[in-house]
Amino acid sequence: MSRRRIVEQRQRIVARPDTDGRAVKSAARVLQILEYFDDVKRPSTVMEVAETLGYPQSSTSALLRSLVALGYLLYDPYTRLYVPSSRVALLGSWVNSHCLAEGKILRMLKELNERTGDTVVLAARNGLQVQYIHVIQATSHARLHLTLGTVRSLAHSGAGYAILSTLSNSEVSRLVMRINAERGEDEPATNIRELQDTLTEVRKAGYAFTTDLVTRGGGILARALPPTPDQPLLVVGIGGISEVMRERRDELVATFNEVYERYFGANARDDELFIDSSDVEASQPLRALV
């Protein structure tokens, strides 16, 4: 990145109203970082952000890591680039519903919530985890409360299974090796073969259905949405009480399928959610909910 481009960006970004010291420095910097990405519209390194905004690199790095942990930024350890997540777009969704495919995804979530009475979540991959970036709480008496920002392991959650099912077996194996290498001392290692068997069933069904896997007494029906350019794969999940979910499974699947097809079309899954064709075992597209 040229020095001239950095200076031009810095001039454009720092042209803000004077707060006269009324803004808390850390809060102002967080918002200015988000505004920086809105301005440049591309992934950036710590150094690029720090130089453009005129911040110390150490504090910029700490702020960026914090925003990653909270789910507002995504970080690629290989390229060392940061980029805003879909959660940033969702912050103002109640003000302007024309975000995320002109509000289509959010309207679908609301309809699923209204028709099932269950908690509905929108989740996105964040590194080796999946994170809830939007939650509509249940209206039914028997409800599962899911917290916005909650993270789950890709290899040990229904939403994680939905994401992994769109990847090839070789990609899944590489991710699991990283997950096992970075797990805590008290966390059991993920058995790759057992996970592959689970993902095979998810691909056959077209959705992941788990109960009592992460939260005792809680379950989730999850499926991936068609991919969006320059954004992580999104997953929609319906969460509820395990016993109730098992009893209503056919009903929930049928409702999910009907609502999904109305918003994305009956062939959206087959056309857009393909597994890597280089992997023979996982080369088939995800099927419709059945």
Q: What is the pLDDT of residues 6-44, one digit of tens each?
A: 444 433 333 344 444 555 778 889 989 998 898 888 999
If one counts every other C-beta atom within 10 angstroms of the C-beta of residue 2, the result is 7
Q: How confident is the model at residue 102 (pLDDT cuts 50, 70, 90)?
A: low
By three-state DSSP, how is residue 221 classified? strand
Strand partners, 220: 210, 239
- The H-assigned helical ranges of the chain are 3-13, 25-40, 46-53, 57-69, 86-90, 99-102, 104-116, 158-164, 169-182, 192-205, 242-247, 249-264, 268-272
Could you tell me which residue, 93 or 6, shows the higher pLDDT? 93
SS3 (DSSP) at 143: coil
pLDDT band at 184 (very low <50, low <70, confident <90, very high): confident
Mean pLDDT, residues 104-123: 94
pLDDT, residue 94, reads 63
Q: Does the pLDDT at position 287 exceed 60? A: no
Give the list of residues 6+ apart from residue 70 with CB closer than 8 angstroms, or none. Answer: 149
Q: Parallel, antiparallel, or unpaired for β 208-211 and 151-153? A: unpaired
User: Where in the chain do CATH 3.30.450.40 domains reside?
Assistant: 97-282
Give the CATH number of domain 97-282. 3.30.450.40
pLDDT digit string, tens, across residues 40-76? 889 999 999 999 999 999 999 999 999 999 989 999 9
pLDDT tier at 147, thresholds 50, 70, 90: confident
Question: Which amino acid, one-letter code, is at 127?
Answer: G
Which residue type occupies 68? V
Kindly tell me if the per-residue pLDDT of 280 is higher than 80. Answer: no
State how far the Cα of 277 lies from the Cα of 104, in Å rounded to an integer: 29
Range(s) for CATH 1.10.10.10 in the chain?
3-84
Residue 236 has pLDDT above 90, yes or no: yes
φ and ψ of 149, to 5 deg: 90, -10
What's the CATH class of domain 3-84?
mainly alpha
Range 223-249 average pLDDT: 90
Asked if residue 138 lies in contact with residue 144, where contact means CB atoms within 8 angstroms, the answer is yes
Instruction: Output the CA–CA distances (angstroms, integers) from residue 178 to 83, 139, 152, 186, 189, in the order listed.
Output: 22, 38, 15, 16, 11
Cα–Cα distance measured from residue 43 to residue 64, given in angstroms and rounded to the nearest whole number = 12
HEC string of 2-39?
Answer: CHHHHHHHHHHHCCCCCCCCCCCHHHHHHHHHHHHHHH
pLDDT for res 106: 87
pLDDT higher than threshold 70 for residue 3: no
pLDDT confidence tier of residue 95, bands split at 50, 70 and 90: low
**pLDDT-derived band of residue 151, with 50, 70 and 90 as boundaries?**
confident
pLDDT for res 82:
95
Token pair recorded at residue 105: 């995804």
Tell me if 210 sits within 8 A of 231, measured CB to CB: no
Specify the range with the lowest mean pLDDT, choosing from 5-19, 106-120, 144-158, 246-260: 5-19
* 234 vs 130: CA distance, rounded Å: 9
Task: Return the pLDDT at 166.
Answer: 95
pLDDT of residue 16: 40
